[in-house]
Amino acid sequence: MGSCLASFIILLLFATPSMATVKSVTYYLDGAKVETVNYAKNGYLEVILPNGVIADSIRIRPAGNAVIDRVDIHRSKRESKTAREIITLEERKNLLKDRLKALETREEIFLSAAKSQSARAPRKTKNNPEPMANIRKGTDYAIGQLESVYTLRRKTEKELASLEAKLSSLRTTGGGGSVCRVWLIGKNGIVHISYFTPEWHWKPFYDFRLQGDGRVRMTLRAVLSPHGKSSSIFVVPTKFSIASDTRVIPVTGSKQFEKIADYIFIAETESFSHGPTASLAFTFNNMTDQRFPSGDAACYWRGEYLGVTPFKGIETKGLSTLSFGTGAAVDPVAERSKTDSET
């Protein structure tokens, strides 16, 4: 979800001399349809579309008595300063990726060393009168090196995430998109412009809550790219290219981790184990006609948090089995928050 719980960049339209306002954003699993309202003056409208817009998806519709006379859309040139900065950041990104690969290799080496030291049988010899002390020293050294590797890797990953966000911002707002020019018949008018961009998308996140009463309570949340506060927000549980599922779900709030809806299913099986670490496995049946796309899922057993695991989604009227606890995936959102607090 890491890619999902990462720093996203707002893609707004900037217009000269008109003003562009984001009216609505409809999020799909692979992108978003953005609709804007643009106010033209003196019969002319010029809008810069952000980089990454799918050219064939651009639609321009007059409102009220406005009449479109002519439209011209062409690629804009990226500023040389921005282009140089992007190249520099790309080089830095490649260096950070190389560092992560090197750290992975060092981690493997010191993990093997720590295991080798702990597995050694103590044998007292003339040259090694205190074997246990030497084994402890070797193990402590390997663990110390591993701690250094983990610290450096965490800092590198944080810098890489920050750099990715800056690169995304420069590609979006630093030119390189498209210039849309619209001529109207008459002095003033309002024009609606819509387009599809893969830069924005949403990822489902599910909360499963069980009380041992034979029911599974599921909350669907949406991990959203940032958007304008005045926008109307919707999510569609499918890809933009698939027209068969046209169910549009309105998002009432404006949070990045917004609650969409609650559902209750019947638990077919439930197996809870206290053990050294509490774990839970359950199966439930989706008796509705709704399909729920894949994402990440968190589980709560009688209010106790049991972790996060990948969730393959639910087909219409189908069984689904989930397990949480021992061996479950680490919560990427919690890990990011923990990392930020530590640094």
pLDDT in tens, 41-70: 888 988 878 777 888 889 999 988 889 999
Q: How far apart are CA 138 and CA 180, in angstroms?
A: 66
Cβ neighbours of residue 29 closer than 8 Å, sequence gap 6 or more: 201, 202, 203, 236, 237, 238, 239, 240, 293
CA-wise closest residue to 93 among 162, 148, 153, 150: 162
State the average pLDDT over residues 106-125: 70
CA-wise closest residue to 278 among 303, 295, 297, 257: 303
- The b/e string for 54-69 (b: 16+ C-beta within 10 A; e otherwise) is eeeebebebeeebebe
pTM of the predicted model as reported, rounded to 2 decimal places: 0.57
CA-wise closest residue to 179 among 106, 75, 98: 75
Strand 232-235 vs strand 19-28: parallel, antiparallel, or unpaired?
parallel
What is the per-residue pLDDT across 159-177, written as a single tens digit (0 to 9) for each?
Answer: 888 887 777 666 655 555 6
Handedness of CA 169, 174, 176, 179 (dihedral sign): positive
Neighbours of 75 (CB within 10 A): 13
CA-wise closest residue to 12 among 34, 28, 33, 27: 34
* Assigned CATH topology for domain 2-24+33-79+174-197: Immunoglobulin-like (2.60.40)
Who wins on pLDDT, 235 or 116? 235
Q: What proportion of the chain, given as a percentage, has pLDDT over 70?
A: 74
State residue 193's pLDDT score.
92
Cβ neighbours of residue 265 closer than 8 Å, sequence gap 6 or more: 215, 216, 218, 284, 285, 286, 287
What is the per-residue pLDDT across 251-304, written as a single tens digit (0 to 9) for each?
Answer: 876 566 788 889 999 999 888 887 777 889 999 988 888 888 888 999 999 998
State the average pLDDT over residues 106-114: 78
Whole-number average pLDDT of the chain: 77
Q: What proportion of the chain, given as a percentage, has pLDDT over 90?
A: 14
